[in-house]
Amino acid sequence: MNTKIMYSVIAIVAGCASDQSLAKAPEELSAIVREVSIMENILSTALKQDTDNKVRAINANYFAKQGVVFELDITAGNRWHAIFSGAPEAPLPPMPDIDFSDVNIEFLSDQVEIISEHAVESSRDAYHHAMEVMREGAEKVRDIAEQERDVSREIRDLEREKRDLEFATRHDNSAEVKELVSRKNSLEKEIKALEKQQTKLTKEQKKARQAISAKHAQREKQKVAEQEQLLEKISQSISLTLCDYGSGLRSLPNDEYVSFVLDGLGQKDKNLIKIFNKGDIKKCVIGETKASELALKAISYQF
């Protein structure tokens, strides 16, 4: 914690206090700065240990007449969402009825590459497995789409040749007519076979796309579960630490608060705010209440 910055913040906020308060400010604020700095280190150690280093850093500030605010820099569940919010999962391209020449599958592979290792720090193996599954799925859809385009192109070529033969047979009474008719019949069989193949490929592509969508949904569900689990660990760690070491904030007035800003752990990347009353912390310190009860008394909201 930067002590110079801390004093600057305190001086600005304390400017609204009475002359009597200002007369005591230097001694009182010096004690608070020291205690908050120590508590910052204690919380940092406890949170890193209890959350497997998901809490990277803590920044503390004191606001006169209000209390202490600890801001937590968190990596994990909220990072997953942040990464993908920058590259939203766009709906799959529409399935054309016949011509697949305009189908754009490239975004699938591009989106796979956006996945960051931060999204799955808790399990690097799971990250690489998810990457491989997504890449294979995108490759499969692209391969099928290319086959469909090839089949569609063949059908168009055969249809064009068939029309030419029909025109020729209508205006030619020579002996070659029978040969032309035979060729036309052969083309019709080829076209039917290709159309059957095209129908099969269309079904395969639809199935592959559905599998990719299912993976997206599964990944989102996993992200929510991991974030909820992390939030529970952080909440427990904070309440336990305040109960065990909250007495260290002895210079903080009893009518002020100890607040925490959990960066990005709210819904839609909002910050989660948790506010503890100094009086409630003291009760937990002396054993009148438990850490679990202290956690329930905290005011929580998103901002």
Most confidently modeled range among 95-99, 133-137, 290-294: 290-294
- Residues 57, 45, single domain; the answer is yes
- Residues 24, 71, single domain; the answer is yes
| Least confident residue range of 57-61, 135-139, 168-172, 195-199 | 168-172
Cα within 13 Å of Cα(12), Cβ side: 8
Q: What is the DSSP string of the chain?
A: --HHHHHHHHHHHHTTS-HHHHHHHHHHHHHHHHHHHHHHHHHHHHHHHHTTT-EEEEEEEEETTTEEEEEEEE-SHHHHHHHHHTS--PPPPP--SS--TT---HHHHHHHHH--GGGGTT-HHHHHHHHHHHHHHHHHHHHHHHHHHHHHHHHHHHHHHHHHHHHHHHS--STHHHHHHHHHHHHHHHHHHHHHHHHHHHHHHHHHHHHHHHHHHHHHHHHHHHHHHHHHHHHHHHHHHHHHHGGGGTTS-TTSEEEEEETT-SGGGPPEEEEEEHHHHHHHHTTSS-HHHHHHHSEEEE-
pLDDT category of residue 184 using cuts at 50, 70 and 90? confident
Question: What pLDDT sits at residue 132?
Answer: 66
Task: Give the pLDDT confidence of 201-228 residue by residue, as tens digits.
Answer: 888 888 888 888 888 888 888 888 888 9
| Least confident residue range of 28-42, 75-89, 237-251, 268-282 | 75-89
- Residues 218, 231, single domain; the answer is no
Question: What pLDDT sits at residue 59?
Answer: 93
Question: What pLDDT sits at residue 129?
Answer: 60
Question: What pLDDT sits at residue 172?
Answer: 61
pLDDT at residue 295 is higher than 90: yes
pLDDT at residue 1 is higher than 50: no
- Residues 156, 234, single domain; the answer is no
Identify the domain boundary among 223, 239, 255.
223
- Residues 28, 105, single domain; the answer is no
- Residues 111, 217, single domain; the answer is yes
pLDDT category of residue 46 using cuts at 50, 70 and 90? very high
Average pLDDT of 188-195?
Answer: 86
Average pLDDT of 276-296?
Answer: 95
pLDDT at residue 88 is higher than 50: no
pLDDT category of residue 40 using cuts at 50, 70 and 90? very high
The fraction of the chain above a pLDDT of 90, given in percent, is 32
Question: What pLDDT sits at residue 137?
Answer: 73
Task: Give the pLDDT confidence of 56-74 residue by residue, as tens digits.
Answer: 889 999 998 899 999 998 8
pLDDT at residue 237 is higher than 50: yes
**Other C-beta atoms lying within 10 Å of the C-beta of residue 35:** 18
Average pLDDT taken over every residue of the chain: 75
Question: What pLDDT sits at residue 279?
Answer: 94
Q: Which amino acid is at 102?
A: D
- Contact between 262 and 285 under an 8 Å Cβ cutoff? The reply is no
Task: Give the pLDDT confidence of 109-135 residue by residue, as tens digits.
Answer: 444 344 334 434 444 555 566 666 667
pLDDT at residue 79 is higher than 50: no
Question: What pLDDT sits at residue 127?
Answer: 58
- Residues 50, 171, single domain; the answer is no
Please tell me the total count of domains within the chain: 2
- Residues 122, 97, single domain; the answer is yes
- Residues 90, 179, single domain; the answer is yes
- Residues 217, 96, single domain; the answer is yes
Task: Give the pLDDT confidence of 143-165 residue by residue, as tens digits.
Answer: 888 888 888 888 888 888 888 77
The whole domain housing 235 covers 3-77+227-302
Residue 62 phi/psi, 5° resolution? -120, 135
Question: What pLDDT sits at residue 248?
Answer: 94
More confident residue, 176 or 65: 65
- Residues 201, 70, single domain; the answer is no
| Least confident residue range of 172-181, 238-247, 283-292 | 172-181
Identify the domain boundary among 168, 196, 223.
223
- Residues 55, 102, single domain; the answer is no
